[in-house]
């Protein structure tokens, strides 16, 4: 049976990674369509319906979302709540109307703030999320609720994946909006090449926001893309599945900063500015469910993935979102 796969948010970080993976190993039984905000306003039901009528998907990977880093979330919780709820409701309604399998993308940041670790798929709704991003978190949690409701009432096969922090080529490097890795890459590039050009590299200082102590799991976008494609083709449960690196792969923000500095061959000094909020200290996720189903999967080495991301940014600086 041939498939028509519609990828919303297809021009973003994860969408571009899926496109790259698919282009390397295209299935003759699948037609892939990658769309972005220019193709439809997913907060508008009429615009969304026109998109679905045009492409008539049998499968949908729903990546489109209003997203941002810690400080962007803190000041815009209402926008994150409303816009994401509108998008998700429209997309899942249309998946139901077209009888399409839907795979939506959540995030480990939606889990409860006060919780035992590691977190797993059963704990999404077991307490309030961190105050810094409650708008985004509750909108994303509602996808899981909506998936179950469509399944229970209509038998629709809607599921969701829960990745840890994603990074890689085609990320959003815009200051004030970006997540931690692209934000650091952009700032260090400016420090090295654009600010105080008369200074020697070993005299320059790279300020890292916060104490550097928080712990995070990071997944390279190409690895996540491969796993999402597997979910689309082979995972047939309404229950969400965490797509994360192993618990042992967790790194501190300080270790992250050091890896980025090494990739840039930065010779200056790193300092930690504790006047900035750290956000949640940790949100360690268990990938036991994934490991049981895909024990053979190998994640890209963290430092190697950081190097590939920095290399992409330097090569594509003029075209990168920043």
C-alpha closest to that of 83 among 68, 98, 99, 61: 68
Active site residue 276: no
Q: Exactly one of 136, 209, 235, 313 is catalytic; which is it?
A: 136
Cα angle vertex 194, ends 189, 200, to 5°?
Answer: 90
Catalytically active residues are 136
């Amino acid at each position: 049976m041939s498939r028509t796969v519609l990828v919303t948010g297809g021009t973003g970080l994860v969408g571009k990674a899926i496109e790259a993976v698919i282009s390397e190993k295209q299935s003759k039984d699948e037609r892939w369509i990658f769309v972005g905000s220019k193709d439809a306003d997913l907060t508008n039901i009429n615009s969304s319906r026109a998109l679905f009528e045009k492409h008539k998907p049998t499968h949908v990977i729903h990546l489109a979302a209003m997203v941002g880093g810690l400080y962007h979330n803190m000041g815009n919780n209402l926008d994150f709540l409303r816009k994401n709820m509108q998008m998700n409701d429209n997309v899942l309604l249309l998946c139901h109307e077209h009888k399409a399998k839907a795979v939506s993308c959540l995030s480990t940041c939606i889990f409860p703030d006060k919780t035992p670790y590691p977190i797993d798929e059963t704990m999404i709704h077991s307490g309030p999320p961190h105050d810094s991003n409650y708008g985004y978190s509750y909108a994303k949690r509602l996808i899981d609720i909506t998936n179950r409701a469509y399944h229970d009432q209509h038998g629709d096969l809607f599921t969701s994946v829960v990745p840890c922090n994603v990074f890689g080529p085609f990320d959003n490097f815009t200051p004030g909006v970006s997540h931690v890795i692209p934000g650091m890459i952009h700032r260090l590039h400016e420090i090295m090449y654009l600010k105080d050009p008369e200074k020697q590299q070993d005299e320059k200082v790279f300020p890292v926001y916060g104490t550097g102590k928080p712990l995070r799991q990071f997944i390279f976008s190409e690895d996540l893309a491969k796993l999402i494609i597997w979910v689309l083709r082979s995972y047939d449960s309404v229950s969400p599945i965490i797509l994360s690196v192993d618990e042992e792969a967790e790194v501190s923000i300080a270790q992250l900063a050091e890896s980025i500095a090494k990739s840039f061959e930065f010779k200056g000094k790193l300092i930690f500015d504790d006047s900035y909020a750290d956000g949640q200290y940790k949100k360690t996720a268990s990938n036991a469910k994934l490991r049981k189903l895909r024990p053979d999967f190998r994640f890209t080495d963290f430092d190697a993935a950081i190097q590939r991301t920095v290399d992409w940014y330097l090569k594509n600086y003029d075209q990168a979102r920043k």
